[in-house]
Amino acid sequence: MGKRIYNFNAGPAALPLPVLEEIQGELLDFKGSGMSILEVSHRSKWFEDVINEAVERTKRLLGLGDGFEVVFVQGGASMQFAMIPMNLALNGKPVDYINTGTWATKAIKEAKVQGKDVRVIASSEDQGFSCIPEGVRVDGNAAYVHFTSNNTIKGTQWAEFPESGSVPLISDMSSDIMSRPFDPSPFGLIYAGAQKNIGPSGTALVIIRKDMLERVPAGLPAMLKYSTYTEEGSMYNTPACFSIYTINLVLKWLEEKIGGLEKMDRINKEKGSVIYDFIDKSGFYKGTAARDSRSLMNVTFRLPNEDLEKVFVAEATKAGFGGLKGHRSVGGCRASIYNAVGVDAVKALVEFMSEFQKKNG
C-alpha cells in the first residue's frame, strides 16, 4: 500500500484510519453474508441493523430525546436549501436567514426562488464574511431562523448559537456536526452533508423535531417531503447504503475510540490552538477570519503574496500535505482540520509551515 498523506481536504475529507481499515476488513464479506455491504439489499436485516444503529448513535452522541427524528436524505446539503422552505415555511410568516457566506447565500437564494417572504436579519457581507454577525435580534413572528454553523470557505464558526426564543432554529451543520456538544432543544431542524465531518458524500443527515412535521404541506412530491423519510425510516427508495454504513462506523469511532463529543471538542480546541498560535506569532502567515469568529474546522490563512502561496501549496503537496489550496472563490490557503485529522497531523503541518517560513521569509 502507498504511503498515506496528511489530508487537509475540505470535503470529501479525511476519514479516521481505523474506520477505513474496518471497511477494508469486511468489504468482501459483511457480517457473514458472503457479500459486500455494497451488494446487500437495503431491505435486508444486515442493512436494517446498520441504519438503525446509525440513528441510535446519532441520538446518543447529540443527546436527542424522543422528540427528534433522524433520517438520511440524498441530494446533499444543497437539496436541503430547497426542502426547508418548501416543507417548513408557514403562510403569512416570514422566513429569517443569517448570511455568513457562500452556503448561507445559496440557502437564501433557494428560499427566494420559491417566492417565500425571505428576510436577511443579519449579515457579515460588509466585512467580507470574515466574522460572525454580533447582536442578532430575532423577531418572534418568523417561521424559523436559518444559519450556517461553520463556514468552510471563509473559516468562520459560531462559538455560541443565536438566541431565537420560541422561533425554531434551523442550521446547516455540514462542516462541524459531531465536533462539539450543544443543546439541541432550540432546533427545529439540523442538516449536514456527510462528506466533511462524518462520512463520504452521497447523503445528508437530517435531524427534525417532530412538531415541525406538522408543517409539511400535503401537495409536495414524495421525495421532497420530510414526512416521507420519517414515515418510511429513510427507506422510501434505496438510500445511499455505503455512505450510511460508513457514517455509522465513524459515529462508532467517535463513541468508542474518542469517548464522545466533550472529548472530541477538547481535541479540536487543541488542534485549533496549535495552528492559530503558530500563525499569530509567525509574522509571515496571516489568518483571514476575525479572531473571535475563527473556525476549529477550517483554518484559512494567507502568505505575503500569491506567488508564495502557489509555491507553498506545491511544496506542501510534495511533502505529503494535501488539500491546502484555499477555495477557488477566495484564494489563499486553507487547512481543514475536521474530527478525523489528528493532533499529530496539525503539529506536522505547523512544522512544515515553520520550515517554509525559514526558507522564504
Whether 162 is in a domain gets the answer yes
Whether 3 is in a domain gets the answer no
Q: Which of 214, 241, 258 is the last residue of a domain?
A: 258
The pTM of this model reads 0.98
Whether 5 is in a domain gets the answer no
Q: Which residue has the cell 439541541?
A: 184
Q: SS3 for 237? A: coil
Phi and psi at residue 311, to the nearest 5°:
-65, -40
Q: Averaged over 207-231, what is the pLDDT?
A: 98
Whether 1 is in a domain gets the answer no
**What pLDDT shows up at residue 53?**
98
Dump pLDDT digits (tens) for 296-312.
999 999 999 999 999 99
Whether 9 is in a domain gets the answer no
Whether 7 is in a domain gets the answer no
pLDDT higher than 90, residue 162: yes
Is 244 found in the same domain as 269? no
Q: Averaged over 87-105, what is the pLDDT?
A: 98
Is 52 found in the same domain as 166? yes
Is 218 found in the same domain as 91? yes
Is 297 found in the same domain as 204? no
**What pLDDT shows up at residue 265?**
98
Query: Would you list the DSSP string of 124-157?
Result: -GGGTT-SPPSS----TT-S-EEEESEETTTTEE
pLDDT higher than 80, residue 2: no
Q: Which of 258, 292, 320 is the last residue of a domain?
A: 258
Is-contact 357 313, C-beta < 8 A?
A: no
Rounded Cα distance between 134 and 248, Å, is 36
pLDDT higher than 80, residue 184: yes
Q: What share of the chain in percent tops pLDDT 90?
A: 99
Is 187 found in the same domain as 126? yes
Whole-number average pLDDT of the chain: 98
**What pLDDT shows up at residue 112?**
98
Q: Averaged over 44-65, what is the pLDDT?
A: 98
Domain that holds residue 348: 261-360
Is 301 found in the same domain as 317? yes
Q: Which residues are catalytic?
A: 103, 172, 196
Domain tally for the chain? 2
**What pLDDT shows up at residue 1?**
61
Rounded to 5°, the CA angle 131-137-143 comes to 110
Q: Averaged over 74-86, what is the pLDDT?
A: 98
Rounded Cα distance between 178 and 200, Å, is 15
Rounded Cα distance between 68 and 212, Å, is 10
Whether 274 is in a domain gets the answer yes
Of 77, 4, 2, the C-alpha closest to 322 is 4
